[in-house]
Structure 1
Amino acid sequence: MKVTDVRLRKIQTHGRMKALVSITLDEAFVIHDLRVIEGNSGLFVAMPSKRTPDGEFRDIAHPINSVMRQEIQDAVMKVYDKTDEVIPDKNATSDNKESDEA
């Protein structure tokens, strides 16, 4: 399985989220709502997630091996590094989902 397309929108927030991302796998399957996060060790790609009733974030979709995770990370960061336009996010707050994921 290969990442065949990456759609990325850099956003300007006060939090650690730097971009929203959608990826296409094998030109056949799309995953929305990945995020580029500024973690303690630099930027990383967070998988789409939702908050559980106890406040924990659980991935909705994620790779099941390190090879696929690295391929996604590399493909997203390649596009992130080439994208200059930053869009102000009027709905973003400093307490975004990524706070528990770094």
Structure 2
Amino acid sequence: MEITNVRVRLADGVNERLCGYCTMTIDNEFVVRDLRIIIGDKGLFVAMPSRKGQRRCPRCGVKNSYQAKFCSECGNRLRMRLKPGPAEQSRLHVDIAHPITPECRRKIQDCVISAYEKEKTRASAEGYVPPPSDDEIPSEYFEEHTELERG
């Protein structure tokens, strides 16, 4: 596995532990978005993209966040535990993509933190313009797709 591209966008400073977000390309073929660069107890580390864990509504079967009080589909009140047990605690957030081996984790961590340090250095220069976020659509798209084809 070769990490062929790493793009970092520095955080806006609202959360003092969150330093930035990252998009990583592997072998010029696979993209992983929304990695987070965080200050931990032992320094910087890379958190993998995750989503909130889910459980099914006993009435309609639709998935809802573990923290939801009511079903988003049928409005049924969902039973809440006063204190989540170890199994529920570990499922509050679930990684979407993650390295399996420690070597892979170290490789990702080293590449992302190196790119973060470079972006931080660039940000300290006068006239720095942050890179566009992955959510922003390039203006070229709108120039090419201004008229809708009508049938």
Amino acid at match of 1:82: K
Q: How many residues align?
A: 87
2: distance between equivalents of 1:13 and 1:60? 25
Aligned 1:81-100 pairs, distance under 5 A: 81-84=117-120, 85=123
Aligned 1:57-68 pairs, distance under 5 A: 57-68=93-104
Report deviation, 1:21: 0.2
Match of 1:54 among 44, 49, 66: 66
Structure 1, unaligned runs of 5 or more: 88-102
Amino acid at match of 2:6: V
Report deviation, 1:29: 0.4
- Greater Rg, structure 1 or structure 2? 2
The residue that corresponds to 1:39 in the other structure is 40
2: distance between equivalents of 1:27 and 1:36? 22
**Whose strand proportion is higher, 1 or 2?**
1
2: distance between equivalents of 1:22 and 1:76? 9
TM-score scaled by length of structure 2: 0.54
Deviating beyond 3 angstroms after TM superposition, the runs of 4 or more aligned structure 1 residues are: none
Structure 2, unaligned runs of 5 or more: 54-64, 68-91, 125-129, 131-151
2: distance between equivalents of 1:70 and 1:17? 19
Report deviation, 1:18: 0.7
- Report sequence identity in percent: 41
Pair 1:74-2:94 in alignment: no
SS at match of 1:22: strand
RMSD between aligned residues: 1.5
